[in-house]
Structure 1
Amino acid sequence: MSSGTAAAPGTCGELVQGTIKGEPFLVTCPVDLWSEVTVEFNPGSKPGASLDKSWQALKLTMNYLGRSAEGVAIRRKSILPEGKGMASSTADIAATCLATARACGQELPPETIAKIAAQVEPSDGQMFPGIMLCNHLTGEPKKYLGQAPPLDIVIADPGGSVDTVLFNCRQDLASKNFQKEPMVKQALELVTRGLLTGDWEMMGRGATISAQANQLMLPKPYLALWRQWAAEVGALGVVVAHSGTIMGMIMDPGGVDPREVADFIKRRKPEWMVWSTSMINGGLR
């Protein structure tokens, strides 16, 4: 009997998402919240319940490695909520790919993991190191934008859920993306320049523009209020799940304590789920 374990970070939505000249892309926003998967070869074992996407990833990985997927079990430990836009499925899938390879005594590069993940569903790019611009439909990495800034993020979930697969099958997706391309291009330029120069306020402005542009695609009823609160607490900007429900505030490290901001929000919206975490570099462990 052999086993392998791997962990993948989730995300706080995306710093930028949309299309440029019709090509879809996103810029990852990995956070310090993880999904850990263990794959174990054990004759007679069965895949874990409610892990259909991980099971698809396992079979695709085994096929890539030229191995049979018989007698394999999957175990997952995750604190990432599902259907919120925190890349919980991508984290599970990516961790499963690497755990499967490790159970076979091998490692897989992030490019291979991303391609496998994209065969299961549109995926984020948190398997790549640092902050990456990638095509979330094909899994292809397009541009490494740099290291994650040392910033905290306050995250809120007002409720509800979004199915990533159904969202990306929308008939109006291409036309809506085309309409918001000018704002998305501006957002990408600011985020790219901000990461390159260490100007976190510029990066935050870019993320905020992308969040606002996404109101055309998936309106968030509380985004205006969220931006108002972000200004009141001196946040660098806001970030959203472009195909999910969550919203985040990017906090200035010299400003208000993120835990105080979380308490500030909880007092005003006690029915929301609110927590704080930090931005980290992408990459599996």
Structure 2
Amino acid sequence: MASAPIHHGEVLQGAFPRGPGLVRGLVTLPCAMYSVRAAFTPDASGEVTVVPAWKSKARTAAGLALVALDLPGGGRLELSGDVPLGRGFGSSTSDVLAAINAVGNAFRVTPTPEEAAKVAVQAEIASDSLMFGDRAVLFAQREGEVIEDFGAPLPQLRILGFGSRPSHDGTAGRGLDTLALPPARYTRRETERFAELRAMLREAIATKDLPLLGEVATASTRINQRHLPIPALDRILGIVDEVGAAGLQTAHSGDISGIILDRDDPEVDACTEHAQRALRAIGIVEQWKFNTDD
């Protein structure tokens, strides 16, 4: 048996210098609200089957993990979990990572995060960085490589999450087909700004500077607004300012966002309740809250 966590969208997502060009990268926000569990039973068939049958990416990942780890045969993969799909919680990567870990556990082999990342990208085209645990990394989601390891976790946060992109009929929670979205095309000025935000995030993590981290997340949200708009973004940012929150983070390929609050502030519960009321007042009723160290 193995498990895999989820995340709550991104703190930063954009395009960053690497070599002579640019590479797309992201920094995810840890979240323990949901998880995926997987069990792999090896057999000599040479093929992998999966339950439920529609979890094709996880099946592919298990087969690729057998090859990557030089393990024999095939087997049966069983998955269970409660992660909402297509919302920005990393449901696909959670399935894939749980499958990889389950294969390893079945043979008492532990894939490295780097090995898991390579398999995950092969299995799902674009992967999140869940295999690195609570390490804050700038991760190239289509190459499966770490662009920068920030050397420490993100500061501990209170997040007031909510569904930020209701569907056309006014309902929320239906998610997005994230791979169907065209990759964002950033301007030169935007890529220059991403380089600045990367340096700011590095400092925020090293010094545990929550306001600076919130500034990075809000700036990333504003830049990506052009590519996947959040309705009422200006009104939401007004609430962020009204309650004295650090910033706003979002799933840049999903439909969830989070107001970033100081977990250790004595007034954090009152601020959270104030923000909840203000969000409901503008029609955002789907809400949840968590601490990143839960």
Q: TM-score, normalised by structure 2?
A: 0.84
Aligned to 1:275: 288
Which residue, out of 151, 157, 181, partners 1:151? 157
Aligned to 2:142: 137
SS of the equivalent of 1:47 reads: strand
Instruction: Confirm whether residue 53 of structure 1 aligns to residue 57 of structure 2.
Output: yes
- Return 201-210 or 180-189, whichever deviates more: 180-189
Q: 1:89 to 1:265 in 2, by over 3 A?
A: farther
Q: 1:23 to 1:259 in 2, by over 3 A?
A: same
SS of the equivalent of 1:92 reads: helix
Distance in 2 (alpha carbons) for counterparts of 1:26 and 1:275: 23
Instruction: Confirm whether residue 125 of structure 1 aligns to residue 132 of structure 2.
Output: no
Aligned to 1:77: 81
Distance in 1 (alpha carbons) for counterparts of 2:201 and 2:236: 20
Q: 1:108 to 1:265 in 2, by over 3 A?
A: farther
Aligned to 1:205: 215
Distance in 1 (alpha carbons) for counterparts of 2:274 and 2:90: 24
Q: 1:195 to 1:62 in 2, by over 3 A?
A: same
For structure 2, the residue ranges without an aligned partner over 5 or more in a row are: 165-171
Which residue, out of 67, 70, 78, partners 1:66? 70
List per-residue Cα deviations over 1:133-186 (Å, max 9, x = no partner): 11111110122212221211111114342222222xx2x63x336452133223
Distance in 2 (alpha carbons) for counterparts of 1:104 and 1:127: 19
Distance in 2 (alpha carbons) for counterparts of 1:90 and 1:203: 25
Instruction: Confirm whether residue 89 of structure 1 aligns to residue 92 of structure 2.
Output: yes
Instruction: Confirm whether residue 9 of structure 1 aligns to residue 8 of structure 2.
Output: no
Does the Cα contact within 8 Å between 2:49 and 2:59 map onto a contact in 1?
Answer: no
Does the Cα contact within 8 Å between 2:239 and 2:275 map onto a contact in 1?
Answer: no
State the Cα RMSD in Å.
Answer: 2.4
Give the Å deviation of 1:123. Answer: 1.0
List per-residue Cα deviations over 1:56-87 (Å, max 9, x = no partner): 11111112233355341312223x21111121
Q: 1:274 to 1:177 in 2, by over 3 A?
A: farther
Distance in 1 (alpha carbons) for counterparts of 2:49 and 2:196: 49
Identity %: 28
Aligned to 1:162: 176
SS of the equivalent of 1:14 reads: strand
Does the Cα contact within 8 Å between 1:7 and 1:34 map onto a contact in 2?
Answer: no
Distance in 1 (alpha carbons) for counterparts of 2:199 and 2:224: 16
Which residue, out of 107, 111, 115, partners 1:108? 111
Does the Cα contact within 8 Å between 1:184 and 1:213 map onto a contact in 2?
Answer: no
Q: TM-score, normalised by structure 1?
A: 0.86
SS of the equivalent of 2:129 reads: coil
Distance in 2 (alpha carbons) for counterparts of 1:184 and 1:153: 23
Structure number with greater CO (CA < 8 Å, separation at least 6) is 1
Aligned to 1:193: 203
Does the Cα contact within 8 Å between 2:40 and 2:99 map onto a contact in 1?
Answer: no
Aligned to 2:169: none
